[in-house]
A = this chain, B = another copy of it.
Amino acid sequence: MSEPPLQIIYRVQVPAGEIASRAEALLLEQTVELSRRVLPGASLEGLTVGQVVAIEPVAEGEFRVTVAQPRAATADDPAQLLNVLFGNSSLQPDVVLECVTVPDAQALLLGGPRFGLAGLRRLVGAEERAMTMTALKPMGLSVAKLASLCHAFATAGLDFVKDDHGLADHAFCPFAERVRACLEATLRAAQVTGRRTRYVPNLIGSPETVLRQARIARELGVEAVMISPMLVGLPVLHELVRRHLDVPVLAHPAFGGALRIQPRALLGQLFPLFGADAVIYPNVGGRFSYDRATCEAIARTLRRPHVPIAPALPVPAGGIQVDRVTEVLQFYGPETLLLIGGSLLEAPDEATLIQRSRRFVEAVQQYEYGD
C-alpha cells in the first residue's frame, strides 16, 4: 500500500500468554472475519489484510494493541468506517477502542469541522477569550417561558444559549415556535445590550425530521445548532454537515454510553421496536461474550414482545458449528433463524462447502421439535 493505513489503538485485557493470538483475532474480526488459516489469500482482490503493528503491556493482563487496517475496508463511507473501527469488537468485553488515526486523505474527505474553534470565535466576536453558554430547561416549560429565560440570559450577555438536549418537537413546545420565540428574545435583548447572543436549537429525530428542523432553523435565522450524534446516528451528523447545513454544529454526548444497555434491552426490545423483523446476536459459546441466560432472554424477548408489536425472529450467530445444530435447536426451538458463516466458509473447496451447507440445511429441516 502506498497510502498510510487506518491506524487503530485498542486496550485489551487478556493474560500475557494469549495477547498475540488475541490481537490477531481482533485485527481479523474487524474486516475479513475469518481466521488467516482459511483466508483464500489469492482470492482477495480488493483488500490486503491489515496487520498488528504493536503490542505494548500497560499493566498486568492489559495491553495496548495497535493495528493497521486498509482504508479500502471502509469504502470511504462514514458508517462503514465505524464498522471497521469497532463494529463486532464492540461486543467483546475485553476490548476498548482507545484511539483512531485515519489517513490524511480520508480525514479530508470526511471533512471534519467546517467552522470549528475559529469559526465559532468569529461568530460571537470572541477572538481571544473563552466563550460562554447556558441551556434552556427544564423540559416541560412552554415556549413563552423558554423564550423569557432566553431573553434573561441574552440580557446578561452570554455568547450562546442552547436548548437542553432533551427539548424535541414536543406538543407543549413545538420546534418552530420555540426557535422563532427564542431568536426574537435574543434580538430584543441585543437592542438593549448592543450585542447578539446566539440561540442554538436542538435538532433531534429521524433523518427527515432533523433535516426539516435544520431547514426551519435556517429560514428563521439560526446561526448554530446542536445535535446528539449517538442518538440520531453518527453518519446522520456527517450527511447533515456535508450536504444540508451551512452553520456550526455543537455535538452533545447523549447516548454516548449506549454499551451499558443490557443486550436483551438493546437487541431484544429496542431493535424490534424500531422495526427490525429479525435480530442477529452473538450466540452463547461463540467468540463473543453472551452467556446462556442472556441468549435465552434475547430470544424470548424478541418472540414475545411485551408491547403490542409483531414478534421478531431471533438469529443466533457467531461460532455455531454445523455439528452443533441439533444442540442449538434444542435450546432455541423452531422459532429461530440459525446463522452459520465461518464453519461453512472454512471448507477447503466448493464441494465440501456445499456438502457441509447441505448438512446444516438437513439438520434443521429434519430436526424433531419436542414440546
A261's contact among B96, B103, B239, B243, by CB below 8 Å, is which? B96
Q: Which B residues are in CB contact (< 8 Å) with A77? A: 168-169, 204-206, 209
> Given A98-B265, A275-B240: A140 and B235 within 8 A (CB)?
no
Whether B139 and A73, one on each chain, are in contact in the complex, defined by CB atoms closer than 8 angstroms, is: yes
With A88-B254, A253-B91, A254-B87 as known contacts, state yes or no: A354 contacts B156, CB within 8 Å.
yes
Query: Is the pair A250, B276 in contact by a Cβ cutoff of 8 Å?
Result: yes
User: In the complex this chain forms, how many copies of it are found?
Assistant: 2
User: Do residues B262 and A259 form an inter-chain contact, with CB atoms below 8 A?
Assistant: no
In the assembled complex, the CB of A307 is this many whole angstroms from the nearest CB of chain B, namely 3
A166 to B344, CA, bound (A): 18
A250-B277, A275-B112 are known contacts. Are A32 and B102 too (CB-CB below 8 A)?
no
Q: How many angstroms from the CA of A279 to the CA of B31 in the assembled complex?
A: 30
Does chain B have a CB within 8 A of A267? yes
Q: Is A256 an interface residue (CB 8 A)?
A: yes
Residues of B within 8 A of A208 (CB): 239, 243
Q: Is the CB of B237 within 8 A of A250?
A: no
Output the least CB separation between A102 and chain B (Å): 6
Q: Complex Cα distance A275/B79, Å?
A: 14
A337 CB contacts on chain B under 8 angstroms = 120, 130-133, 159-160
A residues 9-36 near B (Cβ < 8 Å) are 11, 30-34
Given contacts A97-B260, A262-B98, contact A267 B253 (CB under 8 A): yes
Residues of A contacting B: mostly: mixed
A32 / chain B contacts, CB cutoff of 8 Å = 137-140, 166
- Cβ A141 vs Cβ B43 within 8 A: yes
Most chain B beta-carbon neighbours within 10 Å: one of A166, A257, A269 = A257
Partner of A257, one of B90, B240, B305: B90
Contact: B275 with A238, CB < 8 Å? yes
Q: Is the CB of A95 within 8 A of B260?
A: yes
Which residue from B73, B137, B273 sits with its C-beta under 8 Å from A112? B273
| A199 at interface, CB cutoff 8 A | no
Asked whether A51 is an interface residue with its Cβ less than 8 Å from the other chain, the reply is no
Whether B365 contacts A129 by the Cβ 8 Å rule is yes
Q: 28 pairs across A/B with beta carbons < 8 Å?
A: A32-B138, A46-B172, A72-B172, A79-B205, A86-B255, A87-B165, A93-B260, A96-B260, A110-B274, A112-B272, A116-B277, A118-B311, A129-B367, A130-B335, A130-B336, A131-B337, A131-B364, A132-B360, A134-B341, A135-B339, A135-B345, A152-B353, A156-B356, A159-B337, A208-B239, A229-B271, A232-B233, A242-B275
